[in-house]
Amino acid sequence: MADRFIAIDWGTTNRRVYIVEDGRAVETVRDDCGILAMVGRDYDEEIAHIRKSWGDLDVLIAGMAGSNRGWREAAYVNCPARIDDLAKSILWIEPRHTAIIPGVAARNGRPDVMRGEEVQLFGAITAHLVPDDALLCQPGTHCKWAVMEGAAITSFTTAMTGELFALLRTHSLLASQLDGMIENGTAFQEGVRDGRDHDLQSSLFGVRAAELLGRRSKTDAPSYTSGLLIGNDVAARNISGKTVYILADPVFGGLYAAAVTELDGSAVIIDSQSSFVAGVTAIRNRIL
C-alpha cells in the first residue's frame, strides 16, 4: 500500500500543504495562512480541519510554526547538522502522528538561524539534485546561503535582501521609483556590479541622484535597485569560480542566477518545492 502523509511548510506569511504519496506531491495547496494569520487561532483545530479534507494522515510540519511565535517551539539543531540530527530531534505533538521538524542554528562564529529551509537543503541532497559538498542559496525575504559538507549543513548566512527591497519599495525616499517591473537586463546587471563594487548605503542614494540628474530611465530603477541588493548579497559570499545551487522558483531564481553568473560563478537552479518534498519524505522515512 502507498505511504501517504501530509507535509506542511508553514512560514511567517504563507503556508503550503502537500499530500505526499510515495515521495511525490500528489496535491499542493498554498495559502496566506502563515503563523501571523494564526495569531489567536488554535493550531490543533487547524490540523483537525486539514485532516478533515485529506484523511487522518500523519502530519509533518516545518518552518516558523516551530518557532516561539508559532505553535510549539522546536529547539534548534546545531551546525554541523545532518538530516539524521533533525529526525532525532523531532518534536512530537501527538506521538507518531503529528510532529514539528526543528530548525538549525549556527552558534560558532556569527550566530544565525533557519526554520524550514533545512528541509529543502537536505531534500536537494537526498534527491541527488546537488552533490553532498555544495554551496546552496535560497533567495527570499531572508536569503539563506548554506555550505554543505558531506551532506551536513556546516555553516550558513542569512541576508535581509528581500525584506530590504520591500522596505525601500514601500516606505523609503525611493518608493515612487521602485514601483515597476524587475527584469534581468542591462540595468539589473549594472546594479549587480555596483552592488559588488560600492557600499550599499551610498549606491541606494545614487538611485535618487541618477533620477534627479537624468542619468537613468525611469523604468530601469526597479531592476537596477534589485540588482544592487542581490549583487551586494551575492558578492559578499565569494562565489567567484564556484557553483551555486539556487533553490527557488524559476523567476526569482533567475535573477539570482544572473547575478551569480555576472560575478563569475556558475548557477544551477533547483526546484525548491521538489526539494522540500524530497527532504520531508527522507525525514519521515527516518522516524516511521
What is the grid cell recorded at 8? 506542511
Based on the number of CB atoms within 10 Å of its own CB, is 112 exposed (0-12), middle (13-18) or buried (19 or more)? middle
Helix axes 117-126, 272-287, angle to 10 degrees: 90
Nearer to its own copies, 37 or 210 (CB): 210
Nearer to its own copies, 108 or 219 (CB): 108
User: Measured between alpha carbons, how far is 66 from 98 in angstroms, rounded to an integer?
Assistant: 12
Q: Minimum CB separation from its own copies for residue 223, in Å?
A: 17
Q: What is the C-alpha separation between 191 and 178, in angstroms, rounded?
A: 13
Q: Which is nearer to its own copies, 212 or 288 (CB)?
A: 212
Q: Which residues bind its own copies (CB under 8 A)?
A: 68, 76, 105-107, 110-113, 142-143, 157-161, 163-164, 167-168, 170-173, 198-202, 204-206, 208-210, 212-213, 215, 229, 232-233, 235-236
Give min distance, CB of 92 to its own copies, in A.
Answer: 23
Indicate the residue among 162 and 279 with the shorter CB distance to its own copies: 162
Q: How far is the CB of 277 from its own copies (least distance, A)?
A: 27
Q: Are 182 and 213 in contact (CB under 8 A)?
A: no
Which is nearer to its own copies, 59 or 114 (by Cβ)?
Answer: 114
- Considering only CA atoms, which of 121, 87, 97 is closest in space to residue 6? 97
CB 120 to its own copies: min, Å: 18
Residues whose CB falls within 8 Å of the CB of residue 171, separated by 6 or more in sequence, listed in order: none
Q: Min. distance of Cβ 35 from its own copies in angstroms?
A: 13
Of 281, 270, 261, 277, give the one whose Cα is nearest residue 193: 261
